[in-house]
Structure 1
Amino acid sequence: MSTPDTHLYWATGCTSCLRVKEFLERNGVEFVSHNVVGSNDAADEPADPSPIGVRGADPEIIGEMAEHGLPEHVPVVRVGDDWADGKDVPKVADLVGIDHEAEPLPVEELSDRLDVMLSTTLRYLERVPEAELHTDIPNRPRSYGELVRHVFSLPDVFVMHEAGVPMDGVPRMEHDWDPHSTVALSTYGRSVRSRFRDWFEGPGRTAEWSETADVFWGQPTKHEFFERTTWHTGQHVRQFEWILENELDVDVADPIDPALWEGLPMPRKVWNE
């Protein structure tokens, strides 16, 4: 299949970007690649200096996105004047003419795996020297601490959604927590894990999982939104483990069992090239 007028706007270190990029490549869709991250030389910049909330974003590409009326976040797939949010893979599939059907894992299974991911992140966090929390991940101005904070923010967003808070934009509540403080990150992570478990064992038992979730990037069911929350969290946990082993030379005595990822629609790679 060849759709030469297809454009992908993405960012390094972005899990949804890597997932949709692999999806297009796996299905033989030719596309023009636009990485919005200009450079990694932005350590001293404010957390969100660009409209799309990505440090180091290339203003020329951001301007191009605005000219085409695209949303202020990535990933986005554009074909001519039509576009789809890259987080909504079924809509991307319709846009580029690909058949795509997928059945999420049962919610109980997703919940169990998400809890393992959160507990593992808390355990890994204890192995990172606090000074290293300022260090940026490969090829993107996002610090190790910001990565950990983001891991915890994803299930936080889901719990808040179930409490009636619509996900009407890129979530910002995570910015209330200092990403360069081990104590702050651990406190946030333990709070999220506890609140999620309380919700799942309480209101979650009677949740209508087939209902449409109130999110800004598409019309998934709550089940599909929960699946996304789980695999998205998992991809970042996998990146965090990679950082410990490859960047910090930490011997992970009890690494993640690869079976944790089976059945989740995660990217195949840990990082964008």
Structure 2
Amino acid sequence: MDEVVKVYWQPGCSSCLKTKEFLETNNIKFESINILEDPRGFKDLEKFSLRMVPIVIKGENWANGAVFRDVAKVAEFSYDEHKMLEPNILFSKIIQINEITCSFLKQMPASKLDVILPGRPRSYRQLIYHIFNIPEVFLNYFQNDTPYTYEALLSILPDQIKNENDLYYYADDIKVRFESWWSNEGKNFDFSKPANVYYGEVSFHEVLERTAWHSGQHCRQVELLLKEKLNIIPKVALNESLFAGLPMPSNIWDNEISFSESSYDGQVKEDLSIKE
């Protein structure tokens, strides 16, 4: 009997969605396990000493869903990798995503920032902070040798960020840092060099690309949030040309959980830090 491919994921997780869509595109059947709703999820991951999603498991082999070549190896199929955009283009997109997210934040009522997203215990405020924090994690790794871990990308909201103005200041600080880094180091860096990150063996080019599409996908979610949850028409609409050349998911929120659902009201009882 053939072993079943299993995908462990959670709603609103951009890498989880990409992993599921990747397998579907390649006609790979899999068992879908939402770790926030299915009690088997945490237990299965613990067998492999794993505390993160997305994870793809087949038999005794597993891969982090963030690296498609590893997923393909575990699921036993071949595929052609896409051509990445040049680093300077990725840098430009990351800056634009920061600016557009700030525009969305300006339109969001302060009273709504702590509303919880559907299907997942994350607030609107935390989602927006996460968008700005993704490039910071990259910068901290590149400039300060801070380990690029899944804990770093949990994007736990710092105590000093108490209101929307604090988020603006934080976003601007990251933008200035990123622009300075590019001018002084990034534009002359060899991005083909291997990077030491938690999700697999990848190059700095791949990490920079993931910084762009990852923050971009969550920016798409904030735009959706404004439109569908708050009935607010964004003054600055996202143009799909911004995402041209990036390996974006087809869906914005998830392909199994509807964004129209009410706020998440469940509890994660296990003491595990699950990131996306």
Counterpart code for 1:205: K
Gaps of 5+ in 1: 39-57
What is the Cα-based RMSD across aligned positions, in Å?
Answer: 1.8
2:270 corresponds to? none
DSSP-derived class of the 1:92 partner: helix
1:44 corresponds to? none
2:69 corresponds to? 90
In the aligned structure 1, how far is the partner of 2:59 from the partner of 2:31?
12
In the aligned structure 1, how far is the partner of 2:162 from the partner of 2:228?
20
Query: Which residue, 64, 71, 87 being the options, matches 1:107?
Result: 87
2:111 corresponds to? 131
Deviations 1:221-255 (A, max 9, x none): 10111001100000000000011111111121220
Counterpart code for 2:239: D
DSSP-derived class of the 2:51 partner: coil
Query: Which residue, 39, 51, 61 being the options, matches 1:72?
Result: 51
Deviations 1:52-91 (A, max 9, x none): xxxxxx5542122112x15210000001010001111111
Match runs of 1:1-273 below 5 Å: 5-38=4-37, 60-67=40-47, 69-96=48-75, 97-163=77-143, 164-171=145-152, 174-176=156-158, 181-272=163-254, 273=256
Task: Quickly say closer, same or farther: Cα 1:178–1:129, change in 2 above 3 A.
Answer: farther
**Contact 2:4 2:59 (8 Å CA) reproduced:** yes
Alignment: residue pair count:
252
* Identity fraction in percent: 32
Higher RCO structure, 1 or 2 (CA under 8 Å, sep 6+): 2
TM-score normalised by length of structure 2: 0.87
Task: Quickly say closer, same or farther: Cα 1:3–1:144, change in 2 above 3 A.
Answer: farther
In the aligned structure 1, how far is the partner of 2:184 from the partner of 2:156?
24
DSSP-derived class of the 2:196 partner: coil
Counterpart code for 1:213: A
